[in-house]
Amino acid sequence: MKRNYLPLSVLALALGAVFIGVSEAHAANEDFVSTLVREFYNKTSTWEPTLKRYALVVFRWLVILEVCFLGIKAALNRDQVADIFKQFVMLLLMAGFFLAVINYYQEWA
């Protein structure tokens, strides 16, 4: 039985051409990733003020709702003042942490 190696040789030549092309492209553009990251940062930095403003508006409304729910829950459960104060302090700590994340996400990332 005679084997036909033509499809295999064509595949080998095509893979060789691809690998040579990739190595030449990599040699020509050594800093492709850094260029890509810089371009992405430049394009997205124009969105940052708008998105931050919306994030702060949503955050403010969610904190207000959380304080309202805390008050309703405390009134329905008839909790002690110390328990209400403890929950309120924990709410403020959590809100402060997430506010810091919203404000400093760029430096922390």
Q: Is the dihedral of CA 67, 72, 76, 81 positive or negative?
A: positive
CA distance 96 to 92: 6
Q: Are 102 and 59 in contact (CB under 8 A)?
A: yes
- Cα dihedral value 10, 15, 16, 21, nearest 10: 130
Q: Supply the pLDDT for residue 108.
A: 85
Instruction: Give tens-digit pLDDT for 22-63.
Output: 555 555 566 888 888 888 888 888 888 899 999 999 999 999
pTM over 0.75: no
Q: H/E element holding 57?
A: helix 48-77
User: Where does the pLDDT of residue 88 fall: very low under 50, low under 70, confident under 90, or very high at 90 and above?
Assistant: very high
Q: Supply the pLDDT for residue 105.
A: 86
